[in-house]
Structure 1
Amino acid sequence: MCIETAENSTVDSADISVLLVDDEPNILRALRRVLRREDYRLLTANNGEEALVVMQTEPVDLVVSDSRMPGMDGAELLSRIQQHWPECRRLMLTGHADLTSTIRAINEGQIYRYITKPWSDDDLRLTLRQALEHQQAERERRRLEALTQEQNRELALLNAHLEERVQARTRELQQVADMLELAYGELKRSYVTATQVFSALISQRLPRNLQTNTQVRDLVKAYADTHHFDEELKQSLMMAASLYNLGKMTWNDQLLATPSDRLSTQDRETYQRYPVAGEGLLMALDYLEDTASIIRHHRERWNGSGYPDRLKGEEIPYGARLLGLAVDFIELQRGLVLQRRLPRDDALKLLRKLSGRVYEPEMCEAFITLCIEQAPDLGMGGDQVRSLDTRRLEPGMILVRDLHSESGMLLLNEGKQLTRDLIERLVRFEETEGTRYVLWVKLPDGDPE
């Protein structure tokens, strides 16, 4: 039980034992009456000998002893208690001007305080509370001191081997850092590869003549390489080009095959939600945050008439502007925008016509120039790049364009170095599928062919 005093001190009195020692029963009764509301566990003794017996058999926190008693007086009793139970607080009651006895009690019994008779009840209660609070504070001090000493011993043991352990740990961390650096590089490459595989799976949902992701990706890569994009933006764009159709996967076959300018009002609303749906499906993947943003905004228009957020001009993320150009260029030729398929040159003319309204003018002109100068094999220029069938492949050649099966499944990703075993497996796969593949490869350095 916690008892609060008018002086704002608190004493947990429920487990506190107080021993009252006096040879006069009236005094003991008076003391018990004064302290009965304090909820202490009160013990009594009529003389010093009885008090010592109680001390030996009961836990006692505080002793209040009369100074003058027959036989053993208060000073001697408190002195013995101090010797054997030094943590017990000691108070003396004195009703006589006995300076010698009081000094002896202070010196030998090291009493906390003496109280004169007759006493003030309030002063007596306050004095006991203060004595017990002081005792509890001293116990806590000793506990913390012991804890500090133990912690210091442990710290000394740790410090004895700290330098050696730090050096060993530093070596371990350096090894881990080196491994993480390698793993991170591989992980970034695997992100791109994973999105390409997923893109191939998306393509299986579409008819062969409507599969556009690979062509869009080639266009984006060619533009990024030509304009020397930083690696982070390039990777985000490549993944966005691979996954931009993700939000269409819940559409029915009729909606997938209907040109966007022929959609009904209801279907047009569904169509215009696909960028947001694609972003939502990627939202849980933190490393695809930029990719998701590009997908969300690739249908915005330079004049602010696009969707979903009607962004205007440079409010549209740079990557989204480029992806929108590439998507429209390919989908115009596939019949996914207009009811008829536009020839390549007509698609380029339409892009130029819409420059400044749908597309950023400067980017649109650079994109058209790229398509004209590098057509039909975007990004494949250079004397060391060849288009070869599987029978002409050699170990060491590096694939510079993703290889897809007839069904659109990704077989090998760009950057893969060919080995003898891999080439043989490709040949066997062709025989099984009853088809022939042509691969765009970079020749090994020093091989002019």
Structure 2
Amino acid sequence: MFTQKVHSTGVKNCSVFEATRSSQFYQICFVVRHLKYKSTSACLPPRIFGKLGCCIIRVNKTASFADKKQQRCYLFHLLFCGGMASMLKKYKHTILFVDDEKNVLRSLERLFRKEGYDILTASSGEEGLRKLDGRQISVIVSDQRMPGMTGSEFLRRSKKLSPDTIRIMLTGYADINATMDAINKGEVYRFITKPWNDEEIKLIIRDVLKYYELTNENKRLFKLTRKQNAELLDLNQNLEKKVEERTREVRLKNKKLEELYKVVKGNLFDSIRVFGQLMEMYDPDLGGHCKRVAALSKTVAQRRGLDEKDCELIEIAAILHDIGLIGVPREILRKKEKELTLFEASIYRQHPVLGYLAFNSIKSLRQASILIRSHHENFDGSGYPDGLKNTGIHVGARIIHIASSYDEMIQKLGLSREVALNTLKKKSGYEFDPEIVFHFMDVLHNFNPVAGTEMVIPISKLEPGMVLSRNLKTVGGRLLMVANTVIHQAHIEKIYNFNQIDPIDGGGVYVYK
């Protein structure tokens, strides 16, 4: 709601003191005093009535109004309805007048045709019903006293034919009871007494048409709202169905992707196992070394808190970290690194780069190839092939370096566990990452149980996660797995298959309890 005080119009007879604007209309309240002059006019400020067009107040003392209250009412309606004229013009209204007196019909037709309305007339209720049928009539004005069908009966029947039409009754004071009864029954919106005042009846019709427009607009908006709500409900239901269908499609695709990923992952590990078997075929000790290093490295990575993806990457790189040694003369592989000649050392030190080159072109193994290249880098930068140091070395390569060195101390150099652990401590901060050494020491206390806690079980009782306590060989002397290897499902299948061709020596498998 907007309220604004307005200065006097400058005319003695009329002053506008308040303008109130609602959402659609302007209502003008005013005081008229000392109506002594025949005519007075004044234009109101455009800042108030700019949207209403030209608003001119004209006071005419010669008008035959009953009292000053009617004069004020006339000014109000003149100002208000004059301002609404532009709004009414966009509607084309038809008014039906029904009266048995021809002169009354001619008078009404002459009066309202100047207002721009379409005028229909009927001299009886029956004729009025015929003209009403099939037409859109805004207002019906009917006399009450007519021969044959009365005005009340006509308006009652017209309501059934055109319920939206506004019905007005022309009546004399003698018919007031019948008129009030018709109003109470809902057939009549209002009544006009005879004789009427031309200006008054025009104002009444304007008000009625405004009410008609508002009522029909409300109905139109209500229907539109219901239609839009129905469309929205239908849209929501369709949207829910589409979302459900889309969700099912996404779940199905995700399931297929998961299955495909499992297949690809399975193929990748199959390929990695093939490479591991190639190393084992070339040199059983080399293959066993890589398997033990992989098991140790994965456990240390998990203890350090790396995520599953990184742990998997480290395990793969550890299995393949010495792949570059395939083709290196076995006599070089049997020697300790300090015993190698310069020529032999140059050959041996090429294996990290050869392993990197072997897998760097394979997208799924590219990250693993970086760890393979760096697994001989020392924490202080004294390693090879790139002289990396500290955190410039991938954490996975630092883990593999410690696990590989420890396994060589035990398997190749024949050192005891205590001596090997002390060596790791001494080289911590120089050759090895102190943090990784800490986690490695923690892991070893649980990873390699002490002697005397082993047991022998049949192949059928093997389970993933068990750790071999002794080397596993066939009757024919073939080394299948080395001690301290963590058994996986693939190992169990391998042991079972080999046992069909070349039985396991002793018939059982030694594992830690």
TM-score, structure 1 normalization: 0.51
Call closer, same or farther: CA 1:191–1:417 in 2, change over 3 Å. closer
Say which of 273, 282, 289 aligns to 1:205.
Answer: 282
Give distance in 1, aligned partners of 2:498 and 2:365. Answer: 36
Give distance in 2, aligned partners of 1:186 and 1:210. Answer: 25
Which deviates more, 227-236 or 186-195?
Answer: 186-195
Per the alignment, residue 301 of structure 2 pairs with 224
TM-superposed CA distance for 1:193, in Å, is 4.3
Say which of 405, 426, 433 aligns to 1:353.
Answer: 426
Q: How does 1:65-144 map to 2 (within 5 A)?
A: none
Say which of 433, 440, 443 aligns to 1:367.
Answer: 440
Give distance in 2, aligned partners of 1:233 and 1:352. Answer: 25
* Deviation by residue 1:177-230 (Cα, 9 ceiling, x = unmatched): 321112213432442343134213212211548831121122112212323321
CA contact (8 A) 1:430 1:436 kept: no
CA contact (8 A) 2:379 2:430 kept: yes
* Deviation by residue 1:156-179 (Cα, 9 ceiling, x = unmatched): xxxxxxx99999999666534321
Q: How does 1:41-440 map to 2 (within 5 A)?
A: 175-208=252-285, 211-335=288-412, 340-376=413-449, 389-390=457-458, 393=461, 397-398=463-464, 400=466, 406=474, 407-409=478-480, 414-416=487-489, 429=500, 432-438=503-509
Per the alignment, residue 31 of structure 2 pairs with none
* Deviation by residue 1:300-339 (Cα, 9 ceiling, x = unmatched): 011111011100111011100000000000011223xxxx
* Deviation by residue 1:100-125 (Cα, 9 ceiling, x = unmatched): xxxxxxxxxxxxxxxxxxxxxxxxxx
Give distance in 1, aligned partners of 2:512 and 2:437. Answer: 29
Q: Secondary structure at the match of 2:449?
A: coil
TM-superposed CA distance for 1:271, in Å, is 1.3
Give distance in 1, aligned partners of 2:368 and 2:437. Answer: 21
TM-superposed CA distance for 1:371, in Å, is 1.4
Give distance in 2, aligned partners of 1:257 and 1:188. Answer: 34
CA contact (8 A) 1:399 1:441 kept: no
Give distance in 2, aligned partners of 1:265 and 1:417. Answer: 40
* Deviation by residue 1:381-406 (Cα, 9 ceiling, x = unmatched): 9xxxx965226628xx5455699764
Call closer, same or farther: CA 1:223–1:359 in 2, change over 3 Å. same
Call closer, same or farther: CA 1:367–1:165 in 2, change over 3 Å. closer
Q: Secondary structure at the match of 2:489?
A: coil
TM-superposed CA distance for 1:354, in Å, is 0.6
Query: Which amino acid in 1 is paired with 2:328?
Result: W
CA contact (8 A) 1:200 1:408 kept: no
Q: In terms of Rg, which structure is larger?
A: 2
CA contact (8 A) 1:391 1:427 kept: no
Unmatched runs of 5 consecutive residues or more in structure 1: 1-162, 443-449
Give distance in 2, aligned partners of 1:291 and 1:245. Answer: 12
Report which structure shows greater RCO (CA 8 Å, sep ≥6): 1
TM-score, structure 2 normalization: 0.45
Unmatched runs of 5 consecutive residues or more in structure 2: 1-238
Give distance in 2, aligned partners of 1:428 and 1:409. Answer: 10
Aligned length: 266
CA contact (8 A) 2:473 2:505 kept: no
Give distance in 2, aligned partners of 1:317 and 1:183. Answer: 30
